[in-house]
Amino acid sequence: MNRIVCFVTLLVACAPALAQDMPLSQILIPGENWELVGEGYKFAEGPAADKDGNVYFTDVPESKIYRVDQETGKVTVFASDTARTNGLMFGPDGLLYGCRMQDQKVVAYGPDGKVAKTIAEGVNANDLVVASDGGVYFSDPNGNKVWYVDPHGAKRVVAHGFVPNGLILWPDGGTLVATDSNAPHLWVFRVEVDGSLKYPSPWYGPVRIDAPATRPGSDGMTVDKDGRVYVATHVGLQVFDTQGRPSGTILKPQDAFLSNATFGGKGFTHLYVTCSDKIFRRRMKVEGVPFFTSAEKAQGKAK
Amino acid sequence: MLNRLWIVASIALALIFAAVSVRADEPYQLGPDSQRQDGVPQGKVTQSKFVSEKAYPGVEHDMWIYVPAQYDGTKPACVMIFQDGGGYVSEKGHSRVPIVFDNLIHKGEMPVTIGIFLNPGVLPAVIPGAKPRRNRSFEYDAMTGLYAQFLIDEVLPSVSKEYKLTDNPEDRALCGISSGGICAFTAAWERPDYFRKVLSYVGSFTNIRGGNNYPSLIRKTEAKPIRVFLQDGEHDLDNLHGHWPLSAQQMNAALLHMGYDVKFEFGVGGHNGKQGGAILPDALRWLWRDYKKE
């Protein structure tokens, strides 16, 4: 038995020394490409998956939220008159959180598509992410701020000084990532126990910018189970590894504005992207993660 | 069951060694300058933790300081800073720097030099069960002067509180392996007013975060007063970031083209410190070769 303990110790000791490169070949399946899921939208945004892998997205100008059934692939209207709801994300309570631009609210939609909870009012929210304890972070690009609404409903600014857009949490919930529409990097923050964000760093980078663009156009993000971050940009879906290094760019499904991404489908085996008037998906080698539930597990384990 | 576990563990270990590219046929051995020699006074190594406040707020770095026996505080010492320092300071590691420094300083083949060994930073997480932020690539691969600023504004002033260090940029050297190698070069490239000697083992002059641009930047930038020793091997990495053996040759060619004081040792090894460690005494003699004349 000692020999085994010895070896396991050695394996653990060796592991951090590895380069842990994460090339695109680890995630893309040869021969697989984007397939059309739905079309005819004015501006598709905010794809988010529930714990079963059903994908919800919004047509912002039309004030509609759609649902893609994970079994049939059928797209149906989930909610109407959504006041130009933009960013969407599920919370640990199973509700669909959304940023309503028109009436300046952050709300949570129930399974019936009706507003079940109002999280914040009088705010210019663009995108959001929900932590495993129910705290909500949302971006305010016009105000150059990231806001936090704690589980008791109190809201405060937790980061400022850049143009935030997409927000995502690492699968363990300990680090928040924010895109910066104007800069060639993504910001990371340490999530404090009270929800505050500390120690900002332009840690992911460089985000690729191809001329004639002068800004990356970084928008929505998602994460996979291994911790890669996927960010929608002008040149495509840029992938970053767990050390903040670029792994590469997945090409856009069409020459149009790529706004956001999420993993979804049964087992979270597909990557979904919203690209202007359409939503696409492709099968991946790596699975996504319903990170609010996995973070819950991580926290449970630690307790 | 025990046997099966044993086999699985052995295979896993073999794969790991293959992954870090330690080739059994690499002909590099540590020489006598890398072994303890009778009658050579030994310097002292102390370990501490350095928490950055400005460049990388909150980020913790393991740090070791080597002070040679010949240092008595009357004269300022030269300084050499090692990235991924834990691997360099170990007397069982690829380079055994304290032993090599002891031997070379004793023989007068390099000046009295204080060694600073820094591991890359880690920002611990506070959410239970969450992973820390590992800062190695951000610190080492970034094409910015931030790491140089960290050394200049934070590390050197802190070490200077206890030891008398040189003010002369010619007497400050940087060393590192892989991303630590490009980090050493970048710090000198960004701040040649502070650092003028670079020693790189299997340096990552590849597109991890844009380091592949150095050969062209070097060719189209007025030459900087940096002395560079580069080591690489023909079996070094070829991956998504680039091709290490080719990029090392490009670096050497660009530095030669611009008239830099450069020495390139291109061997047969892989992505490890074997050749670099074996030739470390020679590399140090070359880097510090004209010290006595000053």
pLDDT number for residue A294: 47
Considering only CB atoms, which chain B residues are within 8 Å of A14? 13, 16, 20
- Whether A214 is in a domain gets the answer yes
Residue B23, pLDDT > 70, answer no
Which residues in B have their CB inside 8 Å of a CB on A?
2, 5-6, 9-10, 12-13, 16, 19-20, 56-59, 123, 125-131, 133-138, 141-142, 208-210, 237, 239-241, 271
List the structure tokens of A183: 């800069």
Q: What is the Cα–Cα distance from B23 to B236, expressed in whole angstroms?
A: 10
- Whether A98 is in a domain gets the answer yes
Complex prediction ipTM: 0.91
SS (H, E, C) B133-200: EECHHHHHCCCCCHHHHHHHHHHHHHHHCCCCECCCHHHEEEEEECHHHHHHHHHHHHCCCCCCEEEE
Considering only CB atoms, which chain B residues are within 8 Å of A5? none
Q: What share of chain B is helix, strand, coil (3-state, %, to 5)?
A: 35, 20, 40
Q: B267: buried, middle or exposed (CB in 10 Å: 19+, 13-18, 0-12)?
A: buried
Mutate to test the interface with B, among A148, A203, A225, A301 (most CBs of B within 10 A): A203
pLDDT number for residue A290: 84
pLDDT number for residue B26: 83
CB contact under 8 A, B142 and A205: yes
Nearest to B21 by CA among B232, B199, B198, B176: B232
- Whether A4 is in a domain gets the answer no
CB contact under 8 A, B130 and A191: yes
- Whether A5 is in a domain gets the answer no
CB contact under 8 A, A175 and B125: yes
pLDDT number for residue A90: 97
Distance between B255 CA and the closest CA of chain A, angstroms: 25
**Which residue in the block uniquely carries the two structure tokens 């919370």?**
A91
Mutate to test the interface with A, among B207, B240, B244 (most CBs of A within 10 A): B240
CB contact under 8 A, B123 and A193: no
- Whether A73 is in a domain gets the answer yes
Residue by residue, pLDDT tens for chain A (303 residues) are 445 444 444 444 333 344 589 999 999 999 999 999 999 999 999 999 999 999 999 999 999 999 999 999 999 999 999 999 999 999 999 999 999 999 999 999 999 999 999 999 999 999 999 999 999 999 999 999 999 999 999 999 999 999 999 999 999 999 999 999 899 999 999 999 999 999 999 999 999 999 999 999 999 999 999 999 999 999 999 999 999 999 999 999 999 999 999 999 999 999 999 999 999 999 999 999 986 664 444 444 333
CB contact under 8 A, A246 and B209: yes
CB contact under 8 A, B240 and A17: no
The residue of chain A nearest to residue B126, with distances taken between CA atoms, is: A192
- The CATH number covering residue A93 comes to 2.120.10.30
Who among A11, A175, A243 is closest to B13 (CB)? A11
pLDDT number for residue B120: 98
Torsions phi, psi of A191, nearest 5?
-85, 125
- Whether A10 is in a domain gets the answer no
CB contact under 8 A, B130 and A4: no
Q: What is the Cα–Cα distance from B72 to B206, expressed in whole angstroms?
A: 42
- This prediction's pTM: 0.92
Chain segment A3-62, per-residue pLDDT in tens: 544 444 444 433 334 458 999 999 999 999 999 999 999 999 999 999 999 999 999 999
pLDDT number for residue A57: 98
CB contact under 8 A, B136 and A243: yes
Considering only CB atoms, which chain A residues are within 8 Å of B136? 243
The answer to whether A259 and A275 are in contact (CB under 8 A) is yes
3 state DSSP class of B3 = helix
Nearest to B135 by CA among A185, A203, A200: A203
Q: Which domains, from first to last, does chain B contain?
A: 35-123+130-287 (3.40.50.1820)
CB contact under 8 A, B59 and A199: yes
Amino acid at residue number B258 = M
Q: What is the Cα–Cα distance from A205 to A215, expressed in whole angstroms?
A: 13
pLDDT number for residue B5: 52
User: How many structural domains compose chain A?
Assistant: 1
pLDDT number for residue A281: 98
CB contact under 8 A, B20 and A18: yes
3 state DSSP class of B79 = strand
- Rounded to the nearest 10°, the torsion over CA A253, A21, B181, B45 is 140
**Which residue in the block uniquely carries the two structure tokens 């932020």?**
B133
CB contact under 8 A, B13 and A203: no
- Whether A35 is in a domain gets the answer yes
Longest dimension (CA), chain A: 66
- Grade residue B230 by pLDDT with cuts at 50, 70 and 90: very high
Give the domain range for residue A190. Answer: 21-302
Which residues in A have their CB inside 8 Å of a CB on B?
1, 3-4, 7-8, 10-11, 14-15, 17-19, 21, 23-24, 170, 172-175, 188, 190-193, 198-199, 201, 203, 205-206, 227, 242-248, 295, 298-299, 301-303
Amino acid at residue number A142 = N
